Amino acid sequence: MAKAELMNYEQALEQFEVVIGLEVHVELNTNTKMFCGCRNDFGDEPNTNVCPICIGLPGSLPAVNRKAVESSIAIGLALGCSIAPTGRFSRKNYFYPDLAKNFQTSQYDEPIAFEGTIDIEIPSGNVFTVAIERAHMEEDAGKLTHVGGNTGRIHGAEYSLVDYNRAGVPLVEIVTKPIIGAKHEAPELAAAYVRSIREIVKALGVSEARMERGNVRCDANVSLRRHGAEKLGTRTETKNVNSLRSIERAVRYEIQRQAHILAAGGSITQETRHWHEDRGMTSSGRPKSDADDYRYFPEPDLVPVQPSAELIEKIRASLPENPSDRRKRLQAEWAFADLEFRDVVNAGLLDQIEETVLAGAKPQAARKWWTGEVARLANADDKDVSELSVSPADIAQLASLVESGKINDRIGREVLAAVLAGEGTPEQIVAERGLEVVSDDGALLAAIDDALATQPHVIDAIREGRMQAAGAVIGAVMKAMKGQADAARVRELLIQRASE
């Protein structure tokens, strides 16, 4: 499988207009599955969370999970969608061994939520309004493991194992309308969009929203057309893009791949494509045409879902603050410059800083610690900040110790390292290690006099206005105090001495 020939990205954008469309599957964190009472926990021992319904035994019937409907409504409302007062499920018919009934119970022509919009800010600071076509409920399929062969795919495998723990897990599929006009920022927009969906469902508490676990999965549709053309180009649907970075890379790759083909007079095959993170490329999956015949028809085993207006309004009233509104509010409250705030957002540190501020720290101090030393230590350890064992309360305490002058910045960094090493809270560490700065002027003056005794010329130099000479004495004092002194205070006292 060779990497396709690609056109230079800038050149591709000069010649073509990029159109993307995103389908995001969100796995809901309900206690039980979509249509049965099995535990919604597919990480368990294979085929333990199964029953006659989710393995499709003859005679079994589905019953809709009320909580899943409420979660879906919450997602729809958070995306500014209208909620359908009545909606039928449909059957999507196709044979596949991971699909217990050989049809997927889904919503087809009557999604629970439709016609919404969401504002997406990308790292450059540009904001795009993405139109949501629909959000609908469906059930997940089981998980196949192909054994033998070397591709891990069904073709070439000797046999396959099926785990139906995932069969019937509730999903909400969110589909955008075609997104036109993002130009060279289309890849960033795609990633930022998925990040926003993650933030929203996390804020709603309806999904664990962990991409690495497949709680949020994205299929990215990409097509190109000549500038000025009205008709949309033929699209490809890249599946298996399960990190924000992959989404950005996959969209960029498809733009360059398609541009190369189109510029050479070729045509794009409508198909699904697979993203290979390791090789940074997509490969052809199966042909997909609009005529794929799933023989949809209304699910006769279920009555339509009819959420009452009261229920919808109750859910609307309980919605948490929209993440983008929250960002606007926090930036204003904290008075961060645009660039400072964007760094915080891009580093994913909004929650930590908010909690640190709530714990009493000044916003700028909280920002400096989290985006500075904490991020640096995480980076050095190749970890995510969230994986470090330091809490917003710890940082607030640390910031307060520095603010009050009890410790200086350098000691603060030492204390932080000790917190990460599990030695306790900053206050405990400062007390135990005796790190508090020496604020006793008498002790500092004694140290200054000791230092001047060995470097008597310094006094004269200062008196003559050559302040740089003070450094040697300050350094000696800091050394004598084992760093636990406020250098600024030492300088003040030294000048005082010189003027006596």
Partner 1 sequence: MTDLIKHNASELVEMLATKQVSSVEVTQAHLDRIAEVNPTINSFLHVTGEEALKVASDVDKRRAAGEQLPLLAGLPIAVKDNLTTTDAPTTAGSKILEGWIPQYDATVVKLLRAQGMPILGKTNLDEFAMGSSTEFSAYGPSRNPWDIERIPGGSGGGSSSAVASFSAPLAIGSDTGGSIRFPAAVTGTVGHKPTYGAVSRYGLIALASSLDQIGPVSRSVLDAALLQDVIAGHDPHDSTSLPESLGSMADAARNPSLKGKRIGVIKQLSGAGFQPGVQARFDESIELLAKAGAEIVEVDCPSFEYAIAAYYLILPAEASSNLAKFDSVRFGLRVTPDGNPTIERVMAATREAGFGPEVKRRIILGTYALSSGYYDAYYGSAQKVRTLIQRDLAKAFELADVLVSPTAPTTAFKFGEKIDDPLAMYLNDIATIPANLAGIPGMAIPNGLAEEDGLPSGIQLLAPARADARLYEVAAALESLHENVWGKRMMQFAPELKVGA
> What does the binding site for partner 1 look like in residue numbers (CB under 8 A)?
52, 55-64, 91, 93, 95, 97, 100-103, 154, 160, 162, 291, 293, 295-297, 300-303
Which residue, 16 or 108, is less far from partner 1 as judged by CB?
A: 108
To partner 1, the closest distance from the beta carbon of 113 in angstroms equals 21
- Given the complex with partner 1, which of 12 and 68 has the nearer CB atom? 68
**Shortest gap between Cβ of 49 and partner 1 (angstroms)?**
15
CB of 102 to partner 1, least distance (A): 4
36 versus 435: smaller Cβ distance to partner 1: 36
CB of 51 to partner 1, least distance (A): 8
Q: Are 279 and 245 in contact (CB under 8 A)?
A: no
Q: How far is the CB of 303 from partner 1 (least distance, A)?
A: 5
Nearest distance from C-beta of residue 178 to partner 1, angstroms? 22
* Torsion of the alpha carbons at 277, 282, 283 and 287, rounded to the nearest 10: 130
CA distance 343 to 332: 15
Check if the beta carbon of residue 172 is closer than 8 Å to that of residue 28: yes
Q: Which residue lies nearer to partner 1 by CB, 303 or 431?
A: 303
Cα gap 418→496, rounded to integer Å: 36
* Residue (144 or 377) nearer to partner 1, CB: 144
Instruction: Output the six-digit token pair for 150.
Output: 């070397």
Neighbour-count burial of 105, counting CB atoms closer than 10 A to its CB (0-12 exposed, 13-18 middle, 19+ buried): buried
Q: Least distance from C-beta 162 to partner 1, angstroms?
A: 7
DSSP 149-218: SSSSSSTT-SEEEEEGGGTT-EEEEEEEPPEE--GGGHHHHHHHHHHHHHHHHHHHTS----GGGTSEEE
Q: Report d(CA 331, CA 308) in Å as an integer.
A: 37
Is the CB of 93 or the CB of 283 nearer to partner 1? Answer: 93
Q: Minimum Å distance from CB 274 to partner 1? A: 20
CB of 302 to partner 1, least distance (A): 5
Q: How far is the CB of 221 from partner 1 (least distance, A)?
A: 20
Distances (CA, A) of 80 to 117, 129, 194, 309: 6, 12, 16, 16
CA 323 to CA 326: how far, in whole Å? 5
Please report how close the Cβ of residue 28 comes to partner 1 at its closest, in angstroms. Answer: 19
User: Residue 63 Cβ, how far from partner 1 at the closest point, in Å?
Assistant: 5
Complex with partner 1: residue 146 or 489, whichever CB lies closer: 146
Secondary structure (3-state) at 145: strand
Q: Tell me the three state secondary structure of residue 478.
A: helix
CB of 58 or CB of 465, closer to partner 1: 58
State in angstroms the smallest separation of the CB of 145 from partner 1: 14
Residue 282 CB burial class (10 angstroms; 0-12, 13-18, ≥19): buried
Q: Is the CB of 61 or the CB of 446 nearer to partner 1? A: 61
Considering the complex, state which of residue 63 and residue 488 has its C-beta at the smaller distance from partner 1: 63
Q: How many CB atoms lie within 10 A of CB 252?
A: 21
User: Residue 376 to residues 128, 369, 380, 498: CA-CA distances in angstroms?
Assistant: 32, 10, 6, 41
Number of H helices, E strands in the chain: 17, 15
Nearest C-alpha neighbor of 20 from the set 173, 224, 197, 216: 224
Nearer to partner 1, 36 or 490 (CB): 36
Beta carbons within 8 Å of 174's beta carbon, 6+ residues apart: 23, 24, 25, 26, 75, 79, 132, 134, 135, 197
C-alpha–C-alpha distance, residues 445 and 439, integer Å: 11
In the bound state with partner 1, the residue whose beta carbon lies nearer, of 37 and 181, is 37
Of 98 and 115, which has the nearer Cβ to partner 1?
A: 98
The answer to whether the beta carbons of residues 324 and 128 sit under 8 Å apart is no
**Residue 134: which residues within 8 A CB-CB, separation 6 or more?**
81, 111, 113, 114, 115, 174, 175
